[in-house]
Amino acid sequence: MTFAASSPGNIFLCGEHAVVYGYPAITCSVECRTRVRLTPLDAPDIRIHSETCGTIEAELDGGTVRPRTDNPELSVFLDLLSTLPLPTGLEAHITSDIPLKSGMSSSTAVLCSFLAACSDAFDLGIRPQAYYERLLPIQRNIHGGKASGSEIFSSSMGGFHHIQRDGDRVRARRLGELDLDIIIADTGVFAPTFLTVGYHVPSLIDRKKEQVFEVFEAIGAVTERMQDAVARGDRQRIGELMDRNQLLLSALGVSHPKLDDCIAEARDAGALGAKLSGSGWGGIMFALVEADTRDAVRAALERTRARIIATTIGGQGTRKEE
């Protein structure tokens, strides 16, 4: 029998980077999904195939997962399997609508789908509420030693969340349904998260701690104001706050010339606000639009040759699939 699950990607309405250091952020799920189909095997073999990253093989030796082949992109799944009480081996197939290393947290979404499929296949009873704790250590490794885990929460639970870390715990509050129309554009510049989260920002903190934490404070203030704007449904203000957050991310040095190009074009074409999302140095940006500016903003972004990702936000978290 085969078990399947899917999970959404996500974006940060505001607060990325600062959230790693205990400041609040607002995330929302993006209806680009990763899917995992998993079949338990009558053998200790483990085979994981990804449409984009190839295959990794391992075997279950008592309770230990022993790799048979090497694949740095897929070894996280073996790390995850090592934490689970697996009775047998398995074969899994991974597919994804989320571009890799784009700032939409494809790695988190696929880990959530994989955990859901394992839990279902082996009757482990792991609910999405527990994914944060289980996946945070793995996400820390992926991010180069530091991670807020915000995306785990967003992918597993879906919707819009105000998220704040408190040590190893997370406080997350669902923000209800938000009527926001966005356009996402992928710059195509690969941006592994560990470059900014594990290397650049910590190196800035070593040298300019006070200034960096002033920027984090200011980002935290943007997030609190964003929360009010979101509660009032004030799209104009949400756009202004996105712009302010983008300025602060630029001050941290995590933007990129192509992101700046796309953001400027989107604003000139009438977007209410535009910013990068996630770790920066490439990946995606998104623009907040209204019905009468949507086409112009989309056309302006297309002219930058970034890839438009047509999708909606705020949908379901991890779910079983047929």
- Which residues in this chain contact ligand MEV in the complex, by CB under 6 A? 16-17, 19-20, 105, 143, 147-148, 150-151, 193, 197, 278-279
Nearest Cα to Cα of residue 320 among 1, 14, 100: 1
If the CB atoms of residues 119 and 223 are measured against ligand MEV, the closer one turns out to be 223
Residues recorded for the chain: 322
On the 0-12 / 13-18 / 19+ scale of CB atoms within 10 A, 42 is exposed
CA distance 280 to 16: 9
The tokens for 85 are: 């009480």
- Nearest residue (CB) to ligand MEV, 164 versus 311: 164
- Measure the CA–CA gap between 108 and 47, rounded to whole angstroms: 20
CB of 186 vs ligand MEV, minimal distance in Å: 14
Q: How far is the CB of 55 from ligand MEV (least distance, A)?
A: 26
User: What's the closest the beta carbon of residue 193 comes to ligand MEV, in angstroms?
Assistant: 5
In one-letter notation, the amino acid at residue 305 is R
Closest separation between CB of residue 25 and ligand MEV, Å? 7
Q: Which helix (H) or strand (E) holds 99?
A: none
Strands (E), 175-260: 181-186
What's the closest the beta carbon of residue 167 comes to ligand MEV, in angstroms? 15
Nearer to ligand MEV, 3 or 281 (CB): 281
Q: Specify the residue, 6 or 193, whose C-beta has the smaller distance to ligand MEV.
A: 193
- Measured from the CB atom, the residue of 25 and 60 that comes closer to ligand MEV is 25
CA nearest neighbour of 235 among 291, 285, 173, 184: 291
Beta-bridge partners for 25: 163
